[in-house]
A and B are shown apart, each in its own frame.
Chain A
Amino acid sequence: MNTLHQFKMMFLAQLKLTLREKQAWFWGIFFPVILMVIFMVIFSGNSDEEFKTEVAIVEPSPNPASEMMLSQISELPVIEVKSGKPVTRKKAEEWVKDQEVDAAIILPESAEASSVLLVVNKENEQGAAAQAVSGILDKFVQQANLLAAGASPKYDLQYESITSGTNELDYTDFLLTGMIALSIAQGGMFGMVDLVEMRRKGLIKRLRMTPANMGIFGLSDMVMRLLFSIVQIILLSLIGVLVFGANLYINTFTLIIVFLIGALSFNALGYFFSSFSKTTEAYMGVANICSFLMMFLSGVFFPIETMPEWIQPISAVLPLTYFADGLRESMVYETGIATASLWAGIAVMVIWGAVTFLLGSVLYKRKTIAADR
């Protein structure tokens, strides 16, 4: 038997079936794109702009020290001085109260009185802007102190953005990789509905009446699904990078490993669902519950650390958590393959995949005799 020809014909059939199935397009391509765009627009609308904060400056009595500070603060790109010049203390406090500015900076009254006062709104005390202004000012004052002591700074902190390790990542990158993980996971979990439908219609039985090699059939199906997932990755990445300015630093080898393991184990999960679902409705119900749970508990949209602590152990066993993490490692941090935490995640996915596949196979075998009676 010409195995290659059989594979080719089966693959072509799968390709046509996928291309002609509107549901596949909607859920596999259109839905993740829309979902990602919505989330990006809502949560990272400003992420392209640099962090900026608006402050009021009060200069009770202009003196050389305060003049110098004023000119230097005005030059800081992240701090914008409201109305461009110093205002009265009263006015500044009013602005702070009304939250028109993030903070008011009160400069020293004389060259000798070297204290700089920072006034922030109590409500915003822990806010990012107040923290940032305080941090900037703190450093600023230190430098001023050094200057005043006549010492030139020996150590100089310089910022450089690099994309590895524990570096904080942009929300766009975070969401993009999360969405890619989610759509591949959903592709696997929902995609196996075909199998339920084929069984219900008696197509699997029909194929078994021919000398067709069912292994080749399964393989062609799998190759088709992987291709579809690659399309998802490329499409979502393109939108993320071109429209939302995501920064990707891809380690191709790690990505391939994570992608293959993840896609296969979510397909195994779908295979398991299909083994005990008699109807497509039953299957979709199960797949929906699982996908919903994972969508919100696996750090797709928000980092797991922001969730209540009692939920975090659940996240720690879900495969999507590790799939999303793995994709982040390989697509954003450019992590190499030899990383312990990466392999721990891969191990979790492999366990999920292997266990669900075996369970599914057992259920399928047990049912073949009584099937469709």
Chain B
Amino acid sequence: MTVLEVRNLQKSFGSIKAVQDISFSVHAGEVFTIIGPNGAGKTTTLEMIEGLVSPDNGVIHFGELDWNKHAVSIKKKIGVQPQSSAMFDLLTPEENLNLFASFYDHARPTEEILEIVNLTEHRKNHVKKLSGGQRQRLAIGLALISDPEIIFLDEPTTGLDPQARRNIWDIILHLKELGKTTILTTHYMEEAEKLSDRVCIVDQGNVITLDSPSALIEKLTDEREIRLSFLDGEKAAEDADGFSKELASVSKTEREGAALKIWASKPEETLLDLFKFTKDKSYGVEQVSIREMSLEDVFIAFTGKEWRD
């Protein structure tokens, strides 16, 4: 079931076309991730969907609802954690949640939210004194207070340490168990790969590609990267390099000293051939690995840009 449909969104700020043409639809219960380099139009797209910025063109439908006619109904249906994680610094998490709860007819009990975002311990501290991760969890908590069907999380883990980031991943996975729909943006490929049901890559205001992480990787290429390093130094690596270039499944090689990288479409077969060769020559192999392609490779392949964390 489609809970959100976005068609042909466009938005310009002066002469800058922030969003050129973005369309996608989000299904109930999935984690839908939008990734893209800085300035790709992610935040503008989200802000249009959240009703903060009105699009120059295009359609946004929450089921039957749209912003022009049903603004209040939509606001009750969605929960937003904006990038700035804005809240009242001189109030406690509990007071922040209670205040936000008063904006809705049917809010969830504050204790429940504190439990979900693991802030029960810090409920009475001023927000000012919370750590970055705790603040971010409270921001997510504020997004959840209305028990929304659709949750928007705009870079919820940016700037957090690995432990805090993992805590937030747990929250997102928990939300999925509860059957919520989550729309996520992130800077971290690992995160997108781990959490998302589907990933939408955005660049220069356009959707570049959209699919599940594994499908995206498969779509990209069936090649894998094999890494070998030789105990017998450069000479061995050079020979092995020459040998592997003759193999049919190998598309490319790269050698650096005694280390060799081979890209092959049938990595298992190639390895077998390689080991036969090294055994004949009696070269000692120190390390062997096959690297899986990651979402990062997909991103680089599609946008032609290095990923910056």
B-binding residues in A (CB < 8 A):
1-2, 5-6, 8-10, 12-13, 16-17, 20-21, 198, 201-203, 205-206, 208-212, 369-370, 372-373
* B67 interface residue (CB < 8 Å to A): no
- The CA-CA distance from A372 to B53 in the complex, in Å, is 11
Known: A16-B95, A209-B80, A370-B13. A203 touches B86 (CB 8 A): yes
A10/B90 in contact, CB under 8 A: no
- The CA-CA distance from A20 to B126 in the complex, in Å, is 10
B88/A210 in contact, CB under 8 A: no
A-B contact pairs, 7 of them (CB 8 A): A1-B105, A13-B91, A202-B84, A206-B82, A209-B52, A211-B72, A211-B103
Which residues of the partner chain B approach A212 to less than 8 Å between Cβ atoms?
103
Q: How large is the interface on B (under 10, 10 to 19, 20 to 34, 35 or more residues)?
A: 20 to 34
A13/B103 in contact, CB under 8 A: no
Name the interface residues of B16-73: CB closer than 8 Å to any CB of A.
Answer: 50-53, 72
B103/A201 in contact, CB under 8 A: no
A201/B53 in contact, CB under 8 A: no
Name the interface residues of B93-152: CB closer than 8 Å to any CB of A.
Answer: 95, 98-100, 102-105, 126, 142, 146
* B87 interface residue (CB < 8 Å to A): yes
Interface centre among B80, B102, B142 (most CB of A within 10 A): B102
Known: A5-B102, A205-B52. A17 touches B82 (CB 8 A): no
- Option from A6, A12, A211, A373 in Cβ contact (under 8 Å) with B75: A211
A16/B91 in contact, CB under 8 A: yes
A-binding residues in B (CB < 8 A):
13, 50-53, 72, 75-76, 78, 80, 82-84, 86-88, 90-91, 95, 98-100, 102-105, 126, 142, 146
- Chain B residue nearest in CB terms to A20: B90
B102/A9 in contact, CB under 8 A: yes
Interface centre among A2, A6, A8, A9 (most CB of B within 10 A): A9
B72/A13 in contact, CB under 8 A: no
- The CA-CA distance from A5 to B82 in the complex, in Å, is 26
- Chain B residue nearest in CB terms to A203: B86
- Chain A residue nearest in CB terms to B152: A209
Which residues of the partner chain A approach B91 to less than 8 Å between Cβ atoms?
13, 16-17
- The CA-CA distance from A6 to B101 in the complex, in Å, is 9
Interface centre among B78, B104, B142 (most CB of A within 10 A): B104
Question: Does more than half of chain B's interface fall in helix, strand or loop, or is it mixed?
Answer: loop
Which residues of the partner chain B approach A12 to less than 8 Å between Cβ atoms?
99
B95/A205 in contact, CB under 8 A: no
- The CA-CA distance from A205 to B152 in the complex, in Å, is 14
Which residues of the partner chain A approach B50 to less than 8 Å between Cβ atoms?
209
7 pairs of A and B residues whose beta carbons are closest in the complex: A202-B84, A9-B102, A202-B86, A212-B103, A206-B86, A203-B86, A20-B90
Which residues of the partner chain B approach A203 to less than 8 Å between Cβ atoms?
86-88
Which residues of the partner chain B approach A205 to less than 8 Å between Cβ atoms?
52, 82, 84, 86
- The CA-CA distance from A13 to B101 in the complex, in Å, is 13
- Chain B residue nearest in CB terms to A13: B99
* Shortest CB distance A246–B (Å): 35
Which residues of the partner chain B approach A372 to less than 8 Å between Cβ atoms?
84
B86/A17 in contact, CB under 8 A: no
A210/B90 in contact, CB under 8 A: no
- The CA-CA distance from A2 to B102 in the complex, in Å, is 8
- Chain A residue nearest in CB terms to B72: A211
Which residues of the partner chain A approach B142 to less than 8 Å between Cβ atoms?
206
A201/B105 in contact, CB under 8 A: no
* Shortest CB distance A216–B (Å): 10
A202/B88 in contact, CB under 8 A: no
- The CA-CA distance from A1 to B105 in the complex, in Å, is 6
A201/B84 in contact, CB under 8 A: yes
- Option from A10, A20, A209, A211 in Cβ contact (under 8 Å) with B99: A10
Interface centre among B50, B72, B80, B88 (most CB of A within 10 A): B88
- Chain A residue nearest in CB terms to B90: A20
